[in-house]
């Protein structure tokens, strides 16, 4: 797929801007209750972007949501839009909320996680579903399948 890179993005108010210069490793929808609350929706969408292919180009996002060691959720300090997540110990990728990017419709979720907490009406069209998270050893295969799917 032609990912039309680089892609620009911004929070709702436009004070924090981002750029994606690399194709996603995989796209996801998360149904966990934490994502439901943070997104004010039935699930959150994310695209795992290689860290070297992601940049904040304007503004200074702040950590919000979870404040623990596991994950750092980054928000615009003004409009509080949840823009991206960095997982502790996994510095090689950034989970970008694809709705921040131009052409967000290109980022359909390939996998959906935490379907054990899914709201009964929520449908994503994802190809693969997991009751919680996929086992770590499955990710390499999932990323290969994703590249072939797109």
Confidence of residue 148 (pLDDT cuts 50, 70, 90): very high
| Phi, psi angle pair for 37, to nearest 5° | -70, -45
Question: Collapsing DSSP states into helix, strand and coil, what is residue 38?
Answer: helix
- Tell me: the pLDDT tens digits for 46-93? 999 999 999 999 999 999 887 667 789 999 999 999 999 998 888 899
Distance CA 62, CA 90 (A): 19
The set of residues, in sequence order, having a beta carbon less than 8 Å from that of 102 and lying 6+ positions away, is: 7, 8, 9
DSSP 84-141: EEEETT-TTEEEE-GGGBTTGGG---SEEE-GGG--TT-----SEE-SSPPPGGGHHH
pTM of the full predicted structure? 0.92
In this structure, what are the phi and psi dihedrals at residue 129, rounded to the nearest 5 degrees?
-125, 145
CB 101 within 8 A of CB 89: no
Work out the number of other CB atoms within 10 angstroms of the CB of residue 52.
Answer: 11
Phi, psi for residue 51 in degrees, rounded to 5:
-55, -40
Rounded-to-integer distance, Cα 64 and Cα 38, Å: 10
> Which pair of tokens denotes residue 70?
């596991």
pLDDT tens-place string over residues 98-145: 999 999 999 999 999 999 999 999 999 999 999 999 998 999 999 999
CB 101 within 8 A of CB 8: yes
């Amino acid at each position: 797929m032609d990912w039309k890179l680089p892609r620009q993005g911004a929070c709702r108010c436009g004070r924090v801007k981002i750029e994606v210069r690399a194709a996603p490793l995989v796209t996801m929808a998360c149904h966990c209750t934490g994502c439901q609350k943070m997104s004010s929706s039935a699930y959150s969408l994310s695209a795992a972007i290689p860290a070297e292919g992601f940049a904040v180009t304007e503004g200074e996002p702040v950590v919000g949501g979870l404040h623990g060691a596991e994950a750092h959720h980054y928000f615009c300090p003004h409009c509080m839009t949840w823009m991206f997540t960095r997982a502790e110990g996994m510095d090689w990728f950034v989970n970008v909320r694809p709705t921040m990017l131009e052409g967000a419709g290109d980022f359909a979720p390939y996998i959906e996680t935490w379907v054990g907490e899914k709201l009964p009406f929520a449908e994503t069209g994802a190809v693969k579903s997991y009751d919680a998270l996929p086992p770590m050893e499955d990710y390499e295969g999932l990323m290969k399948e994703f590249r072939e799917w797109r």
